[in-house]
Amino acid sequence: MRVAVLNDIHANLPALDAVIAELGDQWIDRIVLGGDVLPGPMPRDTLARLNALGMPVSAIYGNGELAVLAQLDAADPTAVTYWGTTSGAPLPERYQEWIRWTARQLQPDQADTIRRWPKTLRLEIDGIGDVLFCHGTPTSETDAFTRLTPEDVLLPLFEDLGVSLVVCGHTHMQFDRMIGATRVVNAGSVGCPFGRTGADWLLLGPDVELRHTSYDLDACAAVIRTSAFPGAHEFAEMNVLNPPAETAMLEAFTRASF
């Protein structure tokens, strides 16, 4: 079995379409969505696109999905206590509105589907063995770590899992490292990778391949700017055309949870 792992799409439909087009040449048996399909500028269309794929799709939730569901489940906006942050603190107001807007776009059946997504997933993959998929770490969708996070603080979370490989996301930067005896790979972000433009993803079986897809960034930014998403211009500029530098993001996330 060959599996494509698409993490942190953040409802960037043009980026997703570019990766899907590339998958057509890869003989993929299954797609795994590693969390944070949402929030973002084209949530309804992104979910519809994934639902229409002619292959099996498995998904786990990330902090983004839980933040969106928290909006749908709250009696009123002041009752929301989960924002998907690593610290647990509320997001800045403008980002709170990104979450609220995304929640308002979902059709009831789309929200119901997301509610059924599990926290983690295990698959047996040819040439690799038993693979565990999580968003942040195996125990938390908000834990943030990078290729530079010291091994000793991560060992309690990654030892004794009984798997050949752990695949994570959340911090939007690809890496391939060992934590004790466990190989841990971050698939990166399809919709808004840090450190470079384009779309990052992962191909599994029989090898582990960190992949990168280039696409028309200007066209993507133009589509996003015409959307009703409240952060359309910021998303187009900061997440598509000029993503933050990897050095800055490594400084922000390497010890964010540890």
Residue ranges per structural domain of the chain: 3-253
Tens-place pLDDT, residues 167-200: 999 999 999 999 999 999 999 999 999 999 999 9
CATH fold for domain 3-253: Purple Acid Phosphatase; chain A, domain 2 (3.60.21)
Amino acid at position 239, single letter:
N
Condensed to tens digits (0 to 9), the pLDDT of residues 26-48 reads 889 999 999 999 999 999 999 99
| Pair type for strands 182-186 and 175-179 | antiparallel
Residues of the chain with pLDDT under 50: none
What is the sign of the dihedral through the CA atoms of 46, 48, 54 and 58?
Answer: positive
- Please name the residue ranges forming H helices in the chain: 13-23, 43-51, 63-73, 93-105, 108-115, 151-158, 217-225, 232-234, 246-253
CA distances from 127 to 1, 28, 31 (A): 9, 15, 17
Cα radius of gyration (the chain) = 17
Q: Across the chain, what does the average pLDDT equal?
A: 97
CA 101 to chain centre: 19
Q: Is 9 exposed, middle or buried (0-12, 13-18, 19+ CB in 10 A)?
A: buried
The pTM of this model reads 0.97
